[in-house]
Chains A and B, each alone.
Chain A
Amino acid sequence: MSDRTTEATAPPGLSVPPEPALPSEGETIPHGLGATLPPADARAKAEGTFPYASDLWAEGLLWAAVLRSPHAHARVVSIDTAHAREMPGVRAVVTHEDVPGGPLRGHRSADRPVFASDVVRHHGEPLAAVAADHPDTARMAAAAIVVEYQLLDPVTDPEQSFAAEPLHPDGNLVRHIPLRHGDAEATGEVVVEGLYRIGRQDPAPIGAEAGLAVPRPDGGVELYMASTDPHGDRDVAASRYGLTPEQVKVVVTGVPGATADREDASFHLPLGLLALHTGCPVKLTATREESFLGHAHRHPTLLRYRHHADAEGKLVKVEAQILLDAGAYADTSSDALAAAVSFACGPYVVPNASIDGWAVRTNNPPSGHVRGEGALQVCAAYEAQMDKLAKKLGVDPADVRMRNVLSTGDLLPTGQTVTCPAPVAELLDAVRDHPLPPLPKDTPEEDWLLPGGPEGAGEPSAVRRGVGYGIGMVHMLGAEGADEVSTATVKVQGGVATVICAAVETGQGFATLARQIVQETLGVEEVHVAPVDTDQPPAGPGCRGRHTWVSGGAVERAAKMVRTQLLQPLAHKFGMSTELLQIADGKITSYDGVLSTTVEEAMDGKELWATAQCRPHPTEPLDAAGQGDAFVGMSFCAIRAVVDVDVEIGSVRVVELAVAQDVGRVLNPGQVRARIEAGVTQGVGAALTENLRTPKGVVRRPDLTGYALPTSLDAPDIRIVKLAEERDVVAPFGAKSVSAVPVVASPAAIASAVRAATGRPVNRLPIRPQAAVVTDPLPEPAPTGQA
């Protein structure tokens, strides 16, 4: 990786990342592992010609609209659809009475009805859906459905959930993990405590949910949508519709970027149901508001911590209570809680730990998978604790971290030994030793660099700079015994290879990686990745870096099987084993270079196919004391944040984030850089602006004006100072996933830096301006101001 410190001449706010540049037409495109191969759809997406799910069309289609609850908690007395049905142009109105399927077990949406019947449990819960011949008609008909509610008191504070009446037949407690590790009585000479609150981040996909359902002559239905878990969504739909999985087909199309589960059940289930009811294709495009109301959010979390350390700052014990607000339905809360509890101490060696984690039901919007779930919340808290410990001991915050860092062979509080590379000390050293960015007064374009932005109110005399650290860790793949299998097929014919794998490209780069793997293994330059549907074998959901690992592994195995098929006859002919033959640039050469032929000649017009699976080694659930080998692999990231704070107004500008990450092996440098920059920026949002507020359980301002995502002016200069390439021997290619862990570490690092700048505790994310204000008197402004 090139280091960007060399181009410090451009002011940090304006510098442009130097790569990856898309090769222009005619230029040779790099290929194989380790090359910056651009994504195949990059040009279409940049030029606006990529067909998204909202562009889907079928002849004679109907338009759907969903009626959603305006209340957070209410008894449904009656639903009267008569007016809606009578409206001209309306073709079908469906409610809970029209859902034929039975209950569902084991899936993340098992506890969630398609339509609320007797009670609504959150703002935005679907009650009915309409299909009509015009979108306006559908929307008006949905509004014409008369629902009589009897309002109930919403439970919106997770702390009140324990004692509240059950909000759901399954009870209010989704999961409790009481982790006990080591000596519960151990105490340290130095004790620091803190109470931390993390807000509700929304994945806020710019491409809102959209889909098209087409009925099939056999009584089944095809769902065309931007799913990230096609087989999971198919199984839920089939069971809800009372069909067999074979009768439902999910075709993945037009996926924009995804940082969370792409489709929510409240969206695609009504869609397919309407197609089955009307016998016509039905299209549904979510408005921005519906998108915010429909999909799952990051878990708002309340954390209480007590760290014990000895006089040198070595950690003795961590006590923690972690409360995750699951919202009205469980979704993936159990998994998020496992991550939160297991990583509650962070990448530090903690001999004794006593950690209780709860995920509880409330009448807030449901929380679910958003990358770094569980890990992000605890990272903000344990790093705040490390800052407090450093302050109490009077040592440098980086030093106190360095005294405790985890490395390979150490134990997690779950009793699991860290067997993968864990170069935490190396990462922390790299970010700490990186030169600090210049102060605003030393750079020419001073105005650009002030907190508050180019037309803001920033005043140089009120700006204080702070430097802080955050070290994050996440697990890769599903945990606690999840069967993380993926299947891939590779076909080669006439010098062109095709990869068929149901792993969805969500921007994580799987499709590009699959091409690179096949190029590397088979020496074929032209590789296509087939579109995904559920007629292909399952590859699982696209989250926690699993496609880089298991689907990439499956593609590699299938490609190697094809390679063997291709080389076997040649090896036989040359009288040597297939291992002694090399494929490169379309040529097959023997190890000594004496014998050679072209791939095309060796293929001899044949078509070669192979299908393979990759299944990582099994994990086990956490036991009653939160102990167990629950994770296949982990990755780590250290970030040093530099912030400028206008301490009178409390506005914060992140000047620079220096990132050092444990990646195992860089398979595509451009993509690794892009993923880290994207992740870090999502973390900036979590740290400063992104919080979906739900006073009394009702989502406030569900739009992109009310919910402020970071813009290019908010994105800091991101310097990737180190990519630690110690290969993980159990992972295919030794590579770790890169997307999630920078999201986890950057909010903690930014909060740490604001703490350093202001001396305030900063115990809440996103950081509110009043928490970054310094009220002690500042030096008097000069008589004429400072402008």
Chain B
Amino acid sequence: MTTHASQATQAAVLPDSLDEAVAALAAMPAAVPVAGGTDLMAQVNAGQLRPAALVGLGRISEIRGWQYQDGHALLGAGLTHARVGRPDFAALIPALAAAARAAGPPQIRNAGTLGGNIASAAPANDTLPVLAALEATLIIAGPGGARREVPVSHLLAGMEMLRPGELIGHVRVPLLHAPQVFLKAAGRTGPGRATASVALVLDPARRGVRCAVGAIAPMPLRPLEAEQWVASLIDWDGERGALVPEAVRAFGEYVAAACIPDPEPAPDGTSETLPPAVLHLRRTVAVLARRALGRALS
């Protein structure tokens, strides 16, 4: 028995390819695409959403795996967190694997997908800071076999939107062959919503450190000056780990202050202090960034 009587006229299609899915969306403009359904179905069950039609993405095999392309990995948007979290994937993109393993309890990880995490774009979604730090690019499928590329940060910042009938097909991520770290602070030991998270990747080829802080703002934040500063201190050709502890600590403070700045002083020179909870959050970000850099350089 169910609390919801069946609805006779609901349409659901299960296309086999990305272009078929896009065509189905074009044919039924009111249809909602669904992959893992971990966000969508919760809203449906709570009665907040009654999609007129569904386009299921679960049978599109081309977006459920990954391939290699000019030093990049082309990740299918339908990759589940569980798949991304496995050791073979972790060898490729360790920070994304760590974020996927932290993304929730096993039931959620088995269903939830990379594309869904990007499309729902909730601030605490764990893969987002990693994709921001990796400067990933989305490959978006549109009507008539059209493909366009959008940096993930543009989508998350709202600079570009998914147009009606478009779907996230793939995510292009550079293969950096260097340490990368994802760290998360949450309210409990078990799976929990991040209160703050930090992704940090080293890019030895470009002599860069890229860092993104998640969950503390509507989109992941990049402390660009802190990245450049610390990258300039690292001896890229020699012992990367020889960075002095003070520098690692200062990097954490730099990142935290960039992401959670002090309030602007008022014209009369007085300035408010941040509330204790925000100061704690800033301290947490500093600790996470410091630990992330420490681990990446070790």
Contacts and interface: CB of A to CB of B under 8 A. Distances in A.
A648 interface: yes
Contacts of A288: 46
B46 A455 contact: no
Nearest to B198: A457
B294 A714 contact: no
Q: Which of A651, A712, A781, A784 has the largest count of B CB atoms less than 10 A from its CB?
A: A784
A714 to B, nearest CB: 5
Contacts of A708: 187-188, 192
Contacts of B249: 780-781
Interface string B276-298: 11011001100110110111011
Nearest to B5: A134
Contacts of B193: 705
B189 A787 contact: no
B294 A651 contact: no
B159 interface: no
Contacts of A649: 185, 284, 287-288
Interface residues of B, number: 47
A346 B193 CA distance: 36
A782 B298 CA distance: 10
Interface stretch (B8-16, B54-62, B237-245, B262-270): B237-245
A452 B186 contact: yes
B190 A713 contact: yes
B101 interface: yes
A713 to B, nearest CB: 4
B187 A689 contact: yes
A253 interface: no
A288 B184 CA distance: 27
B3 interface: yes
A457 B185 contact: yes
Nearest to A288: B46
A287 B44 CA distance: 12
Given A457-B291, A705-B193, A787-B298, A773 B186 contact: no
B72 interface: no
Contacts of B246: 780
A355 B50 CA distance: 56
Nearest to B47: A139
A641 to B, nearest CB: 15
B185 to A, nearest CB: 5
Nearest to A459: B291
Contacts of A139: 47
Contacts of A786: 294, 298
Contact of A782 (B101, B102, B245, B283): B245
Interface string A260-297: 00000000000000000000000001011100000000
Interface residues of A, number: 47
Contact of B298 (A648, A651, A784): A784
Contacts of B191: 453, 711, 713
A65 to B, nearest CB: 9
A327 to B, nearest CB: 24
B248 interface: yes
A708 B46 CA distance: 19
A429 B184 CA distance: 39
A136 to B, nearest CB: 6
Interface in A419-466: 451-457, 459, 462
Contacts of B283: 648, 773
Contacts of A705: 193
A651 B192 CA distance: 13
A653 B192 CA distance: 14
A57 B185 contact: no
A275 B179 CA distance: 65
A18 interface: no
A39 interface: no
B186 A456 contact: yes
A710 interface: yes
Residue among A780, A785, A787 having the largest count of chain B Cβ atoms under 10 Å: A785
B181 to A, nearest CB: 8
Contact of B189 (A451, A459, A781): A451
B294 A784 contact: yes
A616 to B, nearest CB: 40
Given A54-B3, A136-B47, A781-B249, 13 more contacts: A55-B1, A136-B50, A455-B98, A650-B280, A651-B185, A780-B249, A783-B243, A783-B245, A785-B293, A785-B297, A787-B291, A787-B295, A787-B298
19 contacts: A54-B3, A135-B47, A287-B46, A455-B101, A650-B284, A651-B189, A711-B190, A713-B190, A714-B188, A769-B185, A770-B276, A773-B283, A780-B245, A781-B248, A781-B249, A783-B241, A785-B248, A787-B294, A787-B295
